[in-house]
Amino acid sequence: MNSSSAFPAITVDISARQVADDALRATQADLSRVSRLTTVGAMAVSIAHEINQPLASIIMNGNAGLRWLARSEPNLEEVRASLGRIVNDGHRAAQIIAGIRAMFRKESTEKSAIAVNELICDVVATSVRELKSRHVSLALQLFDDLAPVTADRVQLRQVLANLITNAIDSMTSVPDRPHILTVRSERLDEWVLISVQDSGTGIAPEQAERMFEAFYTTKPDGIGLGLSISRSIIESHGGRLSASAVQPYGSVFQVLFPTGDRGGGFGPSLITLR
Which helix H or strand E contains 183, and what residues bound it? strand 180-188
Q: What is the pLDDT of residue 232?
A: 81
What strands lie across the sheet with 266-271, from one edge to the other?
240-245, 251-258, 191-198, 180-188, 137-143, 266-271
Q: Residue 222 and residue 212: Cα distance in Å, rounded?
A: 13
pLDDT exceeding 90 applies to what percent of the chain? Answer: 16
Q: What is the pLDDT of residue 265?
A: 43
- Collapsed DSSP state (helix, strand, coil) of residue 197: strand
Q: Does the structure show a pLDDT above 80 at 102? A: no
Q: What is the pLDDT of residue 51?
A: 75
In terms of Cβ atoms closer than 10 Å to its own Cβ (0-12, 13-18, 19+), residue 250 is buried
Distances (CA, A) of 240 to 110, 157, 205, 224, 253: 20, 15, 18, 19, 10
Q: Does the structure show a pLDDT above 60 at 42? A: no
| Residue bearing the bigger pLDDT, 152 or 228 | 152
Q: What is the pLDDT of residue 152?
A: 83
pLDDT, one tens digit per residue, over 62-92 is: 999 999 999 999 999 999 988 988 988 887 7
Q: What is the pLDDT of residue 62?
A: 92
Q: How many CB atoms lie within 10 A of CB 199?
A: 22
Which domains are present in the chain? 2-104 (1.10.287), 112-271 (3.30.565.10)
pLDDT, one tens digit per residue, over 240-273 is: 898 888 888 889 999 998 875 544 444 444 433 4
pTM score, two decimals?
A: 0.60
Q: How many CB atoms lie within 10 A of CB 142?
A: 19
